[in-house]
Amino acid sequence: MKIGFVGAGRVGKSLAFLFKRAKHEVIGVYSRTQNSCNEFTKFVGNGKTFENLKELAKECEVVFITTNDDSIQQVCEGLSPYLSSEQFVFHCSGLLTTQALTSAKAKGCEVGAMHPIQSIPNPHYGIMNLPHSYFDIQCSPGAELVAERLVKDLKCTPIKILPEEKVYNHLASCMVSNYQVSLFDAALKLYENTSISKDLASQMLSHLSKQTVINLENLGPLRALTGPIMRGDVGTVKKHLKSIKDDNVMILYQKVGLILLKLAEQRGRIKKKQAEQIKNLLENTDKHG
């Protein structure tokens, strides 16, 4: 298909590269800045830079709006006057639905939200990580088959989702991915108090983190849970709390610890008395030092 992009960012570049590899024709890109357009065409290896939405709309069967979420509706409204009913318009937001593409729908286009459930920190990682990922898709009826085909061409799996379900899927994805990044960062900073280098600490924690994900995938959260809270080691939790100097890390340890405690109780390994003691420690917002 003849595919054009509005928004020459991480997702736009990654998808364009992969669609080209899947033998689609990447027509080109329109973006806010010329510099991003140049980077896009260089990265993808073909396609041209459009100076306006009108010219881009003329040449494409499919337009992907890969701007930031807050710009999608407005970009679609700018694009819609130049669209006709044979064209398809997609965006990649995890949260927004086809509602953001109402103006294109009003022109008779078929529209869809095609959201990669993947973290794309830059286009190089995008083209490496996207194949074999999942995409949730929420489309107008006439766009479903095209969306599924495009997702499969990326060697990914399409999952149909209802508009009202998107927020939960997006929330879950953000917690598992973005929150993991902040958890990792907070953990890494604890090594500033040690003789272990940041690089070595990062390697050790990455290794642990990968294995934890494998355990989770194979065993589920309840059986994958290990650690002092699961065992009911009150003394260890006390020492942890005494060693935390950063207020945010303290909040994190305590709040997430309470969720861990519930899992531990469900798992049934922790004794009632120890669970109560740990709960008291985690609920006590005073300094533990």
Ligand X SMILES: NC(=O)c1ccc[n+]([C@@H]2O[C@H](COP(=O)([O-])OP(=O)(O)OC[C@H]3O[C@@H](n4cnc5c(N)ncnc54)[C@H](OP(=O)(O)O)[C@@H]3O)[C@@H](O)[C@H]2O)c1
Kindly list the residues in this chain that would bind ligand X in the complex (CB under 6 A): 6-12, 31-33, 36, 66-69, 71, 75, 91-94, 115-116, 119-120
Give the shortest CB-205-to-ligand X separation in angstroms.
21
Residues 156/15, Cβ–Cβ less than 8 Å: no
Q: Report the nearest approach of ligand X to the CB of residue 180 (Å).
A: 13
Of 178 and 197, nearer to ligand X (C-beta) is 178
CB of 37 to ligand X, least distance (A): 7
Pick the closer one to ligand X by CB: 72 or 234.
72
Give the pair of three-digit tokens for residue 53: 């939405």
Q: Smallest distance from the beta carbon of 63 to ligand X, in angstroms?
A: 12
Between CA 132 and CA 111 the distance in angstroms is: 24
Least separation, in Å, of the C-beta of 133 and ligand X?
10
Tokens of 156: 């990914």
Q: Is 23 exposed, middle or buried (0-12, 13-18, 19+ CB in 10 A)?
A: exposed
Q: Which is nearer to ligand X, 12 or 228 (CB)?
A: 12
Residue (30 or 253) nearer to ligand X, CB: 30
3-state secondary structure of 57: helix
Dist. CA 101–CA 55, nearest whole Å: 19
Spatial separation of the C-alpha atoms in residues 285 and 166, rounded to whole Å = 35
Q: Which is nearer to ligand X, 178 or 243 (CB)?
A: 178
CB of 162 to ligand X, least distance (A): 18
Query: H helices of 107-244, where?
Result: 123-129, 144-153, 166-189, 198-224, 228-231, 234-243
Q: How far apart are CA 242 and CA 246, in angstroms?
A: 11
How far CA 52 is from CA of 110, 126, 168, 255, 285, in Å, comes to 22, 26, 35, 49, 56
Residue-wise over 156-193: b if at least 16 C-beta within 10 A, else e? Answer: bebeebeeeebeebbeebeeeeeeeeeeeeebeebbee
Residue with Cβ nearer ligand X (11 or 278): 11
- Shortest separation between residue 207's beta carbon and ligand X, angstroms: 24
In the complex, which residue's CB is closest to ligand X?
9
Nearer to ligand X, 129 or 215 (CB): 129
